[in-house]
Amino acid sequence: MEDFRQLFFEECKELISQLEDNLMQMEESPEDKELINSVFRIMHSLKGSGAMFGYTNLSGFTHKLESLYDDIRNSKIELSPEIISFTIDITDHIKKLLEDKDNPELVVKSKEYEDEIDRRFLLPKEEIIEKPDEKQRNTGKEPLSKDKASNNKLFYIEFAPNEDILNDGTKPLYLLDELSDLGDCIFSTNCSALPMLSELDYEKCYLSWKIIISTAENEDMIKDVFIFVEDDSKLVIKLLSDEDVFQVEGVKLKLQNILDEGLQGFKGLKRLTSIYKEELPSTAQKNVTIDKTNKEEAAIEENFTAKTKDSQPKKDQQIARNTFAIDSIRISSSKLDELINLVSEFVTNQARLYNLSGKINTPEINELSEDFNNLARQFRDIAFDMRLIPIQTIVIKFKRLVRDLSKKLNKKVVFVAQGTETELDKNIIATISDPIMHIIRNSLDHGIESPDKRLKANKEETGTIELKAKNSGAFVLISISDDGAGIDIKAIEKKAIEKKLIPEKHELDENNLLNLIMHPGFTTNDTVTDISGRGVGMDVVKKNIESLRGEVEISSTKGKGTTITIKLPLTLSIIDGLLTSINGGFYILPLSSIVKIYNIGKSDFENSYKNIITIAGTQYSFVNLCDIFKNEKENETIFNLLLVSYKNTKVGIIVNEIVSEYQAVLKPIDNISRNNDIFSGASILGNGRLAMVIDPHKLISNFGN
């Protein structure tokens, strides 16, 4: 039961974020039919699953909204900005409702919303639709099915839920109720499975149903009704007739009898309906009316391309849908975490095997070990790929923030996002969301000026906040820029001196001064933030990003705007590394940061001036790890220089031997180094020994000159 509820919540959350995204886009391009369709579908799903889990409030107004958007996509109602912003309000309401469905205030509010839709948007239309002939009274509230009465089809449905369906919290009657929303139904309940009263288990569902429905919807829509239960239940949906033979007098009653008596199977029913078809008011005339249907309806028809005319394509479609169902599955993230742990163990053990095979050195084992190595690599890549999710998932939140906050602040701001398909590890995404939110809030609050100020400064009235994401090697760069007032570096300098953060006579360049705003002692001062045009808490942003092994950089031009760039590693726990030895100990450097490796001699660097080495005609400054990681054993004769890209230049790192390429499973270590964290973790080697994983950037910034 709880599992299902959880599933429902997750599904709703996903739907809502999709909905928000659609609505934001809709504000920009109200013409986009696909968006309207999508909103319609979301409302439909929310309504359906809401009703199933007893969120009747939810299904009330989502149903109204569904109708509204149905009318919009049929061009009966024009999509107005009011409708969009109303829907956005409702989205918030749904969120609240999901958390606390029985809150009386929310219940009342739901009712109000429901009425409001009727009053403001729907009502006039409803009156027009009230006219059509008798039959439509039964079809219920769906304007679509009413309007297209002549296009109704008959479907035959057999629904036999799993005995335990009630334990899962599903109420079959809700499903049938929802089904009857789609069109006129004949229900026949099969009670033959009911045991004697003494043996009856009241927690089990013994009933099954046979249903004939007359609907304008296609098979997919019917299937949607059963979407949550179809896995566990016996469900048959077949097209019974292309024509709506319910219109023939007395047929409904006859079909009901046939169903109840269970004398005829599907084939018999099909034969019967084809007989009644003849009695329909002139099929020929009907075809004409279909031809006459206007363009809009043709467009809808196109949307329902899945509509089936005969059984053959239907079969194909069935197969197609089945494969689709397997295409994507929902997995709880704890299982993924577990998988990653196992993969890490696997990779570590593989290294042991590799080590062993080197010792035993028989061709068979060597081959096996190499195969395992390849497998482990693929295994690892796929496992990590599973945890990658596109940045898009959090961008919606930012759009929303910009929209709401800019209205509140009376500023005109557009939010542009680029490269949102860039993927990052799930855990990283979860952690960066808040810092980015904070940066954007700062931009809105302090960066972007009010419209009249902007006009005075010869800028466009509307400010822009831009989020760009892109891959760069093993990193992802996310930059957030605004075209606002920028940061006043002079003011920062003044304040920093005042607060004694820097001496009066300092040699800091502009960049360093800018980065002072991320200093904890600096940003907590409110008056500064007003002058500098940045908000509080940049130190927290920095700390959060650095906990992910990321970096933050600020650049700003006064009057032109500010850009904050966040650099993040793709994933947190396994890196492709280069295993090296330094004075007998093992160290791993991330392969992604290494540009080139040179074999060098001791004389090449021993007496160099200011740690500068000349290689192939170019001078590089270097960090000699053999010197820094000194220990008693110091008779190494082999030296290698790893060329690492650092900021805009290349810096050398001197190590002893290069052992091999190595997939390092990063094990966290508490900050063991006193004043710096040049190690991002430790990794267990195949022989059980440990190797420290070096963060070359930290190393260079700490020891470089």
**Nearer to other proteins by C-beta: 117 or 699?**
699
- Using CB under 8 A, pick the residue from 131, 330, 505, 674 that binds other proteins: 674
CB of 670 to other proteins, least distance (A): 6
Contacts of 595 (CB under 8 A, 6+ apart): 643, 644, 645, 650
Token pair listed for 560: 């032109």
- Using CB under 8 A, pick the residue from 283, 471, 676, 701 that binds other proteins: 676
- Using CB under 8 A, pick the residue from 156, 432, 679, 696 that binds other proteins: 679
**Nearer to other proteins by C-beta: 61 or 586?**
586
**Nearer to other proteins by C-beta: 615 or 626?**
626
CB of 357 to other proteins, least distance (A): 21
- Using CB under 8 A, pick the residue from 222, 258, 394, 678 that binds other proteins: 678
Q: Which amino acid is at 318?
A: Q
Q: What is the DSSP string of 458-496?
A: T--SSEEEEEEEEEETTEEEEEEEE-S----HHHHHHHH
- Burial string for 33-66 (b: 16+ CB within 10 Å, else e) reads eebbbbbbbbbbbbbbbbbbbebebbbbbbbbbb
CB of 626 to other proteins, least distance (A): 11
Picking from 205, 221, 211, the residue whose alpha carbon sits closest to that of residue 186 is 211
Rounded to whole angstroms, the Cα distance separating 671 from 542 reads: 17
C-alpha 110, offset from chain centre: 28
Residue 547 touches other proteins, criterion: CB under 8 A:
no
CB of 656 to other proteins, least distance (A): 14
**Nearer to other proteins by C-beta: 198 or 635?**
635
Token pair listed for 350: 């593989």
- Using CB under 8 A, pick the residue from 265, 268, 503, 688 that binds other proteins: 688
Residue 670 touches other proteins, criterion: CB under 8 A:
yes
CB of 588 to other proteins, least distance (A): 12
Residue 684 touches other proteins, criterion: CB under 8 A:
yes
Residue 342 touches other proteins, criterion: CB under 8 A:
no
Picking from 60, 70, 12, the residue whose alpha carbon sits closest to that of residue 38 is 70
Residue 668 touches other proteins, criterion: CB under 8 A:
yes
From the list 58-66, 253-261, 277-285, 677-685, the region that binds other proteins by CB under 8 A is 677-685
CB of 569 to other proteins, least distance (A): 19
Rounded to whole angstroms, the Cα distance separating 667 from 687 reads: 16
CB of 335 to other proteins, least distance (A): 20
**Nearer to other proteins by C-beta: 304 or 629?**
629
**Nearer to other proteins by C-beta: 140 or 686?**
686
CB of 639 to other proteins, least distance (A): 17
Residue 351 touches other proteins, criterion: CB under 8 A:
no
The CA-CA-CA angle for residues 250, 255, 260, to 5°, reads 130
**Nearer to other proteins by C-beta: 528 or 678?**
678
Residue 372 touches other proteins, criterion: CB under 8 A:
no
Residue 689 touches other proteins, criterion: CB under 8 A:
yes
- Burial string for 71-85 (b: 16+ CB within 10 Å, else e) reads bbbbbebebeeebbe
**Nearer to other proteins by C-beta: 182 or 682?**
682
CA dihedral of 661, 667, 670, 676, whole degrees rounded to 10: 20
- Using CB under 8 A, pick the residue from 188, 348, 515, 624 that binds other proteins: 348
CB of 688 to other proteins, least distance (A): 6
- Using CB under 8 A, pick the residue from 8, 682, 696, 697 that binds other proteins: 682
The CA-CA-CA angle for residues 484, 486, 487, to 5°, reads 150
* φ, ψ (nearest 5 deg) of residue 322: -60, -45
Residue 352 touches other proteins, criterion: CB under 8 A:
no
CB of 426 to other proteins, least distance (A): 23
Instruction: Give kind and range of the element (H or E) at residue 694.
Output: strand 690-694
**Nearer to other proteins by C-beta: 229 or 693?**
693
CB of 323 to other proteins, least distance (A): 40
- Please work out the total of residues on this chain that contact other proteins, with binding judged by CB under 8 A: 27
Q: Are strands 574-582 and 657-665 parallel, antiparallel or unpaired?
A: antiparallel
CB of 634 to other proteins, least distance (A): 13
Number of residues in the chain: 705
* φ, ψ (nearest 5 deg) of residue 325: -60, -35
Which positions from 624 through 643 interact with other proteins, judged by CB under 8 A? Answer: 628-631
**Nearer to other proteins by C-beta: 27 or 627?**
627
Binding mask 119-158 for other proteins (x = CB under 8 A): ----------------------------------------
Instruction: Give kind and range of the element (H or E) at residue 382.
Output: helix 363-387
Contact of 582 with 631, CB cutoff 8 Å? no
Longest Cα–Cα distance in the chain: 106
Q: What is the DSSP string of 213-271?
A: EEESS-HHHHHHHTTTTTTTSEEEEEEEESS-GGGSTTHHHHHHHHHHHT---HHHHHH
Cα distances (Å, whole numbers) of residue 111 to 22, 92, 98, 108: 25, 15, 15, 5
From the list 160-168, 504-512, 527-535, 662-670, the region that binds other proteins by CB under 8 A is 662-670
Residue 354 touches other proteins, criterion: CB under 8 A:
no
From the list 115-123, 146-154, 616-624, 689-697, the region that binds other proteins by CB under 8 A is 689-697
Residue indicated by tokens 């007032």: 485
**Nearer to other proteins by C-beta: 364 or 632?**
632
**Nearer to other proteins by C-beta: 281 or 668?**
668
CB of 686 to other proteins, least distance (A): 12
Contacts of 104 (CB under 8 A, 6+ apart): none
Torsional sign, CA 6, 11, 14, 19: negative
Binding mask 574-593 for other proteins (x = CB under 8 A): -----------x--------
Rounded to whole angstroms, the Cα distance separating 262 from 265 reads: 7
CB of 574 to other proteins, least distance (A): 14
Question: Please, what is the end-to-end C-alpha distance for the chain in angstroms?
Answer: 63
**Nearer to other proteins by C-beta: 200 or 342?**
342
Contact of 640 with 626, CB cutoff 8 Å? no
Residue 95 touches other proteins, criterion: CB under 8 A:
no
- Using CB under 8 A, pick the residue from 418, 690, 701, 705 that binds other proteins: 690
Cα distances (Å, whole numbers) of residue 464 to 467, 499, 602: 10, 33, 55
- Using CB under 8 A, pick the residue from 29, 323, 362, 671 that binds other proteins: 671
Catalog residues that contact other proteins under the rule CB under 8 A: 345, 348, 585, 628-631, 667-676, 678-679, 681-682, 684, 688-692
